[in-house]
Structure 1
Amino acid sequence: MTDRASAWDEAPCGLLTLAEDGTVLVANRTFLQWVGRPAAEVVGLVRLSQMLSVGGRIYWETHLSPLLHLEGRADEVALELRGPHGRLPVLMTAVAATDGTGEIRVSISSARDRSRYERELLAARKHADAAARRTRVLQEVTGALSAAVGRDGVAAALLGAARPLGARAATCWLADPGGRLVPHSATGEAVETSHLPAGPWPRAATHREGRVFVPLHGQAALAGVLSLLPDDGAGGAPPDLATLTAVGQQAGIALDRARFFDRSAAIAHQLQQALLTAPLPQDDRFVVSTAYWPGEEPLEVGGDWHDSFLLDDQVLAVVVGDIVGHGLDAAIAMGQLRSAVRAVAGPAVGPARVLAALDPFVRRVPAAAFATLVYGELNLTTGRFRFACAGHPPPVHIGGDGAARLVWDGRSTPLGLSVPGRVRAEAGFDLAPGDRLLLYTDGLVERRDQALPARLERLAKVGAEVHSLNPDEAVRSLIERMLPAANGHDDVCLLLLSWSPTS
């Protein structure tokens, strides 16, 4: 009996016998040591629930005790004992006796190691979740920076990522041409109120003056600094400096790329504007009104153009063309083709032969391949208009009485695609005094959500409705009514020729 009693007392787990109401009838030494009380203060006097934490006691009374009475057993229930050194996490298994005494046999094992393991596992999981979240944010920011166009686009991508990066406000500082950092844009705060400490700026993100500063180093120099105000509100996570440093490196590369992009855009824009703003011919017998409307492409330059010039005192040439594509290459090809049209046109050449002469030219200029073009010549004395259309949308003839029609004659393939041995087509019709001709590029009529025939019919209808406006007002109205601000569109060139012969 002595050996059995010793084994009972020295068991590595707490062993108890409880009365039906939960009062401790027998408890081994291990259990008494855990609760830090002698047997005389516990046995027959205290219920097990009274030695549990508040939550454990409620759980015992509302769940465990009814469960033992109904099912006679409860396995591995996590509870906390109140001991002399604080709470001790334990696992309890209890079985109701079947001998009619109502007693309950209880085994309690320490869960301290298991609890520590669970805490470590939870911490590791939180760390993994945080790492995954940082990786996801970094991927999203990198994607946004890769898609950003120009310095404005890079700054917008950085500010858009401020909150995911753990900031409630941010200001993006960019270097000006002289290398001086100036505030560019902000979110959650006013640009005017921002302040940037003096350098030098390392390559890593740093905490300074209650903010986090992320240097944006380009390949050769500091391109900017992202200043973040950390989100210190409830649930706000502190900014991760390693992630921010990686973002800064990606942003520096993006700003280098943006600088080259902006330079190319400026060159292309200047080239296109120089070509499209050339002086228009002036004569009392006609009025040429034009417009160029850039599409919703970031570069804002492309291959659309218009031109008009006098072949002699009696013939006015007008042309509208469209190079496939956008960007600097398209703008350069547009300038070359525009010059080529002027070079081959002449009083005795005629529209069809002008287009035929352009075919070998575009074959030597890859960027001009498949260009479309409408070229016409108006006799300023008779009103006869001859034209040829190389794959281009049809001109619109607007009568002085307001009647408008699409002119589908004189059509052939885009430039460079002519069939050997086949002559380019041309057509002609007579204008009455006060009549107008509208030439345009496909950006005016093409829409992804609308059929082209319907858009062409609408253009003729709008042209008829604006016939009473003066030419410049008519052009503006056409643009506004055909290109609603809410809808995307390609580049648009438009030329409106009005004929009013002198008596």
Structure 2
Amino acid sequence: MPEVTQDLRVPWEEDPGDLYEHAPCGYLTTLPDGTIVRVNETFLAWTGYERSELVGRKRFRDLLSPGDKIYHETHYAPLLSMQGDVHEVAFDVVCADRRRLPTLVNSVLGRDPAGHPRAIRTMVFDATERRGYEKELLKARRTAEASELRVRALQQVVAELSAAPSAAEVAGAVVRAPAAAFDAAFCNVWLVDPDRDQLTAVASTDPDGPARDDIPCSSSRPIAEVARRGDLHVVPTIAAAEERFPELADTMRRTGIRSAVLLPLTTGFAGETIGAEVLGVLSFGFTEERELDEPELSVVRLLGHQAGQALDRARLYDDAGRREARAMFLAETTRALEEPYRLMPRARNLVERLVPAIAEWAAVRLQIGPAGLLADAGGPAPDQVRLAERVAIVVANGKAEFTDVGADPDCAVLPLTAGGKVLGTLALRMAPGRRTAAAEAAFLSDLADRAGLALENARLYEQERAIARTLQRSLLAGDLPSDPRFAVETHYQAAAQDLEVGGDWFDAFLITQDKLAVVVGDVVGRGIDAATTMGQLRSAIRALASAEAGPARLLERLDRFVDRVESARMATVAYAEVDLTTNEMTYACAGHLPPLLTEPGGSPRYLLDARSGAIGSRAGSTARIEHRVPLSPGSRLLLYTDGLIERRTRPIDKGFEVLARTYAGRRDSPLPGLTKGLAQTLVGGDHPDDVCLLCLSLGTEERLERSIGADPVQIALLRKDLRGWLVSHDVDDDSTQAVLLACSEAVANAIEHGYRNDPFGIVDVTATISAAAIEVEVTDRGNWKGPTGEVSRGRGLRLIRQVMDQVNFDRRDGTTVTMRRTRREAR
């Protein structure tokens, strides 16, 4: 088939220069550094520049907006250099009149024969219409998304409302809806309180919103007006608010809100106002002026209707829930008042349960003593003068008073009675937003009756307990002897929750100037008889002890004593005498648990010799035996009663093992607080039997070695122990005070810095003394490095250096602080 040739020549001559200058797009030619060397007329017409303003004077990136300049430097230029060309890069070109021209840019990098960049040729397309089209599409898309968001938000709140059983939960669900559906800046929910004839703010998304704002329904405030009229109000501008709600306009200016919506929450159908009851008001606002279109208004009205229906349903649940909650509160309060046995703890427990659960403020006044007793909580308190007048009236006539108006609205004063006697009064002011005191009269009266009975029981318990404890203290040993050659630490712990005094006792006294007697005993039984017998037995031991008798003869004399005091029969006694000149101890046990002895460097051991039957027992031999033990300086002897180790859930041998292990762990602990610490560890606070301990520390240790836990409370006990040791070595007062201060600071630093994250750390303290100086070492194995890796020096280091002559640190294994103080007589 023959080829057909077509002549495609245009019927006129095309000027290449004119084609370049008036092309439908802008052309730019720039050097590699971006300097413009050529530009066509189209680009100049679009931007308004003169050719002389650009060629050789501007770079292409100089014509871009600030953000596009950054993109040019970080993306466009590197891509062009690597690829040789870039296509359809969007830039905003800043025109001569400062307006911005949206463009799309294509660039090609030309190179010379050697491959070096030579010039950049750029085509610029006007993207204004494309940008507008994209904005319209984006606006339509956002409108659709906003509509979908509102629908989803409404669906979500409807689902939450259907599951909300109380008005508070309904308000919590409603208050979140405007932010989700309309992007509101804040939202508040007020509910109508028919008892008070007011609207109360119950929920808010604004941190500075009305956390507690009560508005009378008759108020002229916009919220009250919306509640009365039941109409939806949209306030698009502050100026619009100024015309109808001047108060709202002031609030909008103060909070930065530019437009607002006030929506009544009604029980009627959506859009229906006649016959509909307004149960609350929802208000929300925007930070910009905004008009709501009809679809948005429909969603708002539907939200108000759904919330109103949910509130109507929740009121029924609230009434039932309130009755159930009141019954539960009464039951729990009754149980809680039974836990503390003393009067004032029960009174404080009562007011603490009332505030803030029921009342904003509450006080219990008891008619005990000339001044009475008071426990109160919450605040601020009502007018005290007026309150005192009302309290006097209630005490006089025994009838409750409720006040709903006046200076102290919702303030009630109720009598606390038991057996027809007024013990005192319970005064309270109901928390804002709750039902009035008068509306809760039946509940409050029931509460006062239960509280009055619980407080009367506590008063009787406390009265009997005071009598028992007074008797107990009068029968225990008085002041213990004080001597540099020994130290005595005791502890007595009465049985928990028991009014009866027990028969456990301890005593320590000097038979002669150089002979010390220590004793722990236990009389059979409890109560007044046992306590009286214990006092008689203690007095008998003091009377029978002599320098010549010794423990065995003393126990034999006690056997004859119980022939006249039958109640003392079968009492147990651990008795020891210590010769302070030879450090020799002679002891005997009459049916009592064996003493526990710890010597320096040794493990605890029970003294199992010199044992015989209980006092007055007629079984077996009536002869008593004793045993002598030499004691090293620093030895500690522990005497105790069976309440310390006996348990129904374990064999007695296990109790001995636990005591020895616990005592061994504390053998390096300061003597002050040792017996109390043992009792707390082995017994705790709730134990059915009395516990009595006596620890004797004998002689002066040449070298003081103590280990304490990383607990600041232990520092005071260590100071007391160290002070006694220094005094026993005749250290002058100035040196004693300096060593005590330095040691305390060093131990405090070790606890604070070395063991700041380790409550189980141990601090070792060693003190030695010579004729010339006192030296103290404080060692911990903690990490003194802070969060930045720097070694913490401790705030007390400067003070330590001031009072001690030498201070050295060793950080190779933990931290050891060595402190030396020259004795005054050696200076």
For Structure 1 versus Structure 2, the TM-score category normalised by the shorter chain is 0.5 to 0.7
Residue 387 (str. 1) matches residue 577 (str. 2): no
Aligned to 2:637: 437
Report whether the alignment pairs 1:305 with 2:505: yes
**1:173 equivalent in structure 2:** 365
CA distance in 2, matches of 1:324, 1:126: 60
> How many angstroms apart in 2 are the aligned matches of 1:343 and 1:401?
37
CA 362–292 in structure 1, closer or farther in 2 if over 3 Å, else same: farther
Aligned match of 2:425: 225
CA distance in 1: counterparts of 2:587 and 2:609, whole angstroms? 10
Q: What are the equivalent positions in structure 2 for 1:442-457 lying under 5 Å apart?
A: 442=642, 444=644, 452-457=655-660
| Post-superposition offset of 1:270 | 3.4
Asked which structure has the greater RCO (Cα within 8 Å, sep 6+), the reply is 1
What does residue 375 of structure 1 align with? 575
Q: Which residue identity lines up with residue 402 of structure 2 in the other structure?
A: H
Aligned to 1:249: 449
Q: Counterparts of 2:570 and 2:336 in 1: how far apart (Å)? A: 34
Q: Which moved more, 1:435-444 or 1:353-362?
A: 353-362
Q: Does 1:461 align with 2:664?
A: yes
| From 514, 535, 538, the counterpart of 1:335 | 535
| 2:398 counterpart of 1:203 | yes
> Secondary structure of 1:280's match?
coil
2:520–2:575 contact (8 Å) kept in structure 1: yes
Distance 1:165 1:294 in 2: 37
The answer on whether the counterparts of 1:205 and 1:244 sit within 8 Å (CA) in structure 2 is no
Q: Contact between 1:218 and 1:256, CA under 8 Å: does it hold in 2?
A: yes
Q: Give the aligned partner of residue 376 of structure 2.
A: 186
Structure 2 residue identity aligned to 1:185: A
| Contact persistence 1:146–1:254 (CA under 8 A) | yes
Please say if residues 345 and 354 of structure 1, whose CA atoms lie closer than 8 Å, have aligned partners that are also in contact: no
Deviation at residue 238 of structure 1 after TM alignment? 7.5
Q: Which residue of 2 aligns with 1:278?
A: 478
TM-score, structure 1 normalization: 0.58
Where does residue 138 of structure 1 map in the other structure? 330
**In 2, Cα distance between the equivalents of 1:402 and 1:239?**
73
Indicate how the Cα distance of structure 1 residues 253 and 374 shifts in structure 2: closer, same or farther if over 3 A, else same.
same
The amino acid of 1:169's aligned partner reads: W
Deviations 1:151-179 (CA, angstroms, capped at 9, x unpaired): 1232134224426983243222223411x
Residue-by-residue CA offset, 1:360-402 (whole Å, 9 max, x unaligned): 677537xxx875432223345552412114243x212233555
Q: CA deviation at 1:207?
A: 1.5
Shift of 1:405: 1.8
Counterpart check, 1:404 vs 2:609: no
Cross-structure match for 1:321: 521
* Aligned residue number for residue 341 of structure 2: 149
Kindly state the Cα deviation for residue 331 of structure 1 after the two structures are TM-superposed. 4.7
| 1:359–1:485 Cα change, 3 Å | closer
The 5-angstrom pairing of residues 484-499 of structure 1 reads 487-488=684-685, 490=687, 492-499=691-698
Secondary structure of the residue that 1:242 maps to in structure 2? helix
Change (3 A) 1:405 1:421: closer
Assess if the C-alpha contact under 8 Å between 1:402 and 1:465 holds in 2.
Answer: no
TM-score (normalizing by structure 2):
0.38
Distance, in Å, in 1 between the alignment partners of 2:382 and 2:624 is: 63
For the residues of structure 2 that align with 1:190 and 1:459, how far apart are their CA atoms? Answer: 51
Partners of 1:423 and 1:339 in 2: CA distance? 22
SS of structure 1 residue aligned to 2:388 = coil
**What one-letter code is carried by the residue in structure 2 that aligns with 1:390?**
G
How far residue 299 of structure 1 moved from its aligned partner, in angstroms, is 7.1
The separation in 2 between residues aligned to 1:439 and 1:206, in whole angstroms, is 60
CA contact (8 A) 2:476 2:535 kept: no
> CA–CA distance in 2 between the matches of 1:129 and 1:371?
61
The higher radius of gyration belongs to 2
The structural deviation recorded for 1:351 is 5.1
Letter aligned with residue 200 of structure 1: I
Counterpart residue number, 2:553: 350
- In structure 2, the CA distance between the partners of 1:378 and 1:354, relative to structure 1 (3 Å rule), is farther
Q: Which residue type is aligned with residue 388 of structure 2?
A: P
User: What residue ranges of structure 2 are gaps of 5+ in the alignment?
Assistant: 1-157, 159-268, 277-311, 701-827
Q: Write the distance in 1 (CA, Å) between the matches of 2:564 and 2:344.
A: 38
Unaligned 5+ segments in structure 1 are 1-57, 59-79, 88-118, 467-472
Distance 1:456 1:395, change over 3 A: same
Q: Give SS of 1:216's match.
A: strand
Q: Does the 8 A contact of 1:400 with 1:432 survive in 2? A: no
Q: Do structure 1's residue 483 and structure 2's residue 680 form an aligned pair? A: yes
Asked if 2 retains the 8 angstrom alpha-carbon contact of 1:166 and 1:239, the reply is: no
Q: Which residue of 2 aligns with 1:259?
A: 459
Structure 1 residues 476 and 146, CA, compared in 2 at 3 Å: closer, same or farther? closer
The share of aligned pairs that are identical, in percent, is: 31
Question: In the alignment, is the contact (CA less than 8 A) between 1:358 and 1:415 conserved in 2?
Answer: no
Tell me, yes or no, if the aligned pair for 2:489 and 2:694 is still in contact at 8 Å: yes
Contact in 2 for aligned 1:171/1:226 (Cα 8 Å): yes
CA contact (8 A) 1:438 1:496 kept: yes
Measured at CA, do residues 291 and 461 of structure 1 come closer, stay the same or move farther in structure 2, by a change above 3 Å?
same
Change in CA separation of 1:276 and 1:298 when aligned onto 2, cut-off 3 Å: same
SS, match of residue 465 in structure 1: coil
- Tell me how far apart the structure 2 counterparts of residues 130 and 329 of structure 1 sit (CA, whole Å): 53
Paired residue secondary structure (1:173): strand
Distance in 2 (CA, whole Å) between partners of 1:181 and 1:461 is 50
CA contact (8 A) 1:319 1:376 kept: yes
Q: Distance in 2 between matches of 1:239 and 1:291?
A: 57
In structure 2, C-alpha distance between the alignment counterparts of 1:474 and 1:484, rounded to whole Å: 16
* Distance 1:242-1:163 versus aligned 2 partners, 3 A rule: same
Q: Distance in 2 between matches of 1:247 and 1:358?
A: 57
Q: Is the 8 A contact 1:355 1:388 kept in 2?
A: no
Cα–Cα, structure 1 residues 218 and 452, in superposed 2: closer, same or farther, change >3 Å? Answer: same
Q: Deviations over 1:302-351 (max 9, x none)?
A: 54321123456665432112457877676555434423443555553625
Cα distance in structure 2, aligned partners of 1:408 and 1:318: 17
Mapping 1:54-65, distance limit 5 Å: none
Distance 1:354 1:190 in 2: 68
Equivalent position of 1:43 in the other structure: none
Structure 1 residue 228: deviation in Å?
1.8
Alignment RMSD (CA, Å): 5.1
